[in-house]
Chain A
Amino acid sequence: DIQMTQSPLSLSASMGDRVSLTCRASQSISVYLNWYQQKPGKAPKLLIYAAFSLQSGVPSRFSGSGSGTDFTLTISSLQPEDSATYYCQQSYSTPWTFGQGTKVEIK
């Protein structure tokens, strides 16, 4: 199985900050990497698919980059509503696996 490792596990930043979350795969997964945002008690919400494609309706302050084993989700200007846990997920091979999540808090 492909292991997905996210870092950091949590971070606290101020409104307007540029924030970068990292996801590393245990083997190369090309660009088959998705990012989700989850708020407490809610289903995950798709932000980015295929490493860098922004899902329709998602604010442009979210962007994805990377290929192979190293990926980044960037929030260009952190907003209060961005307080959530963010998960990466690979679809390169089954079983599709998720990272353990990065919890983002607003100072």
Chain B
Amino acid sequence: QVQLVQSGAELRKPGASVRVSCKVSGSTLSDLSMHWVRQAPGKGLEWMGGFVPEDAETIYAQAFQGRVIMTEDTFTHTAYMDLSGLTSEDTAVYFCATAPSGWYNVARYYYFDYWGQGTLVTVSS
């Protein structure tokens, strides 16, 4: 059984950066496709990016290009999401989630099966 445990809540000032971690147990990071999804207070879910095996690289949503970096430390089984240039609009709960894939016809489909508990990042002066 895969478990994802995220780091605790963070408070940052506008313009600062934040790092959120996601520790994996029950599997190895190299066997997983890790992604990040965020949810602003009272709002819906927004995919930020993650490793897409079909592309063999980490793909970032355009909305976060240049501000986000997603990395993995396979030795400590921990994934990281670094977000810079924070504004109040980045106040949200950030989730890590694993995205296995399957095949339908000749293309892969993906879905988020295991999720971390979420990390609240508050951006306020």
Contacts and interface: CB of A to CB of B under 8 A. Distances in A.
A30 interface: yes
Interface stretch (B11-19, B76-84, B105-113): B105-113
Interface residues of B, number: 26
The dominant DSSP class at the A interface is loop
Nearest to A48: B111
Nearest to B118: A43
A52 B61 CA distance: 26
29 contacts: A30-B104, A30-B105, A30-B107, A31-B109, A32-B104, A32-B109, A32-B110, A36-B112, A43-B95, A43-B97, A43-B118, A44-B115, A46-B112, A49-B102, A49-B113, A55-B113, A87-B45, A89-B45, A89-B111, A89-B112, A91-B99, A91-B111, A94-B52, A94-B59, A94-B61, A95-B63, A98-B45, A99-B44, A101-B45
Contacts of A32: 104, 107, 109-110
Contact of A46 (B45, B63, B104, B113): B113
Contacts, number: 67
A50 to B, nearest CB: 5
A26 B118 CA distance: 29
Interface string A68-107: 0000000000000000000101010011111111000000
A34 interface: yes
A91 B61 contact: no
Given A32-B104, A49-B111, A50-B102, A87 B44 contact: yes
Given A32-B110, A45-B115, A96-B110, 14 more contacts: A30-B107, A31-B104, A34-B112, A43-B118, A44-B45, A44-B115, A49-B113, A55-B113, A89-B111, A89-B112, A91-B110, A94-B52, A98-B44, A98-B47
